[in-house]
């Protein structure tokens, strides 16, 4: 079971794509959004932090800018979910905004207008038109099995300074960070694009499959610990 955070505005159309991508990978999905009372990290085996509105720059020491659409309630929810997931060793996949939030929660910051910093061609499409270069020997490389991946792009912000125990897993031709991943357990990966829109491409399906595999391994480990504790308790009464 995977908990998926989505926007209150666009979750109705994004969650079914998440649900489909996770189902293909062998997992079930539960929808979480700000204002929901049903967020229960103890009931899931992994987490997806979805895309949507920009993150409030106050979370990483940036300055508020005019014309930026924010959702402070969602920021608070996802910060809590990521912190709780790490406390429970739950695997995490961050998508677009979710990748940025993963970086921010781990102490990193963002370029608010990344295209003013990098000489990267600006795309705004759900179609896989942008080519990103995957870092050799990265988890993302082992997952997609490709050194270059064609992705979609809907973002204006991007990762700047990396958070704790994170490394760059992909960049575009202009040098802009397109994927990050944690260098130690638990599994944590963030991609700047939207693989849920690209379920018809094998490389992007493999991203959800990697999350599902990590979630399954974590669930098995928890089950073994619970069984051992139960046996130890039973032995005390023999």
Strand, helix or coil for residue 159: strand
Is 96 annotated as catalytic? yes
Say which of 78, 96, 155, 204 is annotated catalytic: 96
Q: At what angle do helices 11-25 and 202-235 cross, to 10 degrees?
A: 70
Is 197 annotated as catalytic? no
Q: Please enumerate in sequence order all residues whose Cβ is within 8 A of that of 105, keeping only pairs 6 or more positions apart, or say none.
A: 78, 79, 82, 83, 163
Is 83 annotated as catalytic? no
Say which of 111, 194, 197, 204 is annotated catalytic: 194
Question: For residue 210, what are the CA distances in angstroms to 91, 168, 177, 216?
Answer: 10, 18, 21, 10
Say which of 111, 155, 181, 196 is annotated catalytic: 196
- Tokens 């998926």 identify what position? 4
State how far the Cα of 76 lies from the Cα of 158, in Å rounded to an integer.
20
Q: Please enumerate in sequence order all residues whose Cβ is within 8 A of that of 172, keeping only pairs 6 or more positions apart, or say none.
A: 118, 120, 121, 130, 131, 132, 133, 178
Write out the catalytic residue numbers. 96, 194, 196
């Amino acid at each position: 079971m995977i908990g998926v955070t989505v926007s209150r505005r666009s979750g109705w159309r994004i969650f079914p794509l998440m649900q489909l991508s996770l189902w293909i990978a062998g997992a079930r999905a539960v929808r979480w959004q700000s204002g929901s009372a049903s967020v229960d990290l103890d009931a899931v085996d992994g987490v997806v932090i979805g895309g949507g509105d920009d993150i409030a720059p106050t979370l990483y020491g940036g300055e508020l800018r005019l014309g930026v659409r924010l959702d402070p309630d969602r920021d608070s929810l996802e910060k809590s979910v990521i912190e709780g997931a790490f406390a429970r060793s739950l695997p995490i996949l961050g998508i677009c905004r979710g990748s940025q939030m993963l970086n921010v929660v781990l102490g990193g910051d963002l370029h608010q207008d990344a295209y003013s910093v990098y000489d990267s061609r600006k795309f705004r499409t759900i179609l896989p038109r942008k080519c990103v270069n995957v870092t050799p020997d990265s988890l993302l490389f082992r997952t997609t099995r490709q050194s270059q991946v064609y992705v979609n792009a809907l973002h204006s912000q991007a990762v700047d300074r990396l958070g704790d125990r994170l490394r760059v897993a992909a960049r575009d031709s202009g040098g802009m960070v397109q994927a990050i991943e944690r260098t130690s357990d638990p599994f944590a990966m963030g991609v700047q694009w939207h693989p849920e829109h690209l379920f018809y491409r094998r490389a992007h399906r493999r991203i959800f499959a990697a999350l599902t595999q990590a979630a399954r391994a974590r669930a098995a480990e928890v089950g073994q610990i619970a069984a051992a504790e139960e046996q130890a308790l039973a032995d005390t009464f023999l």
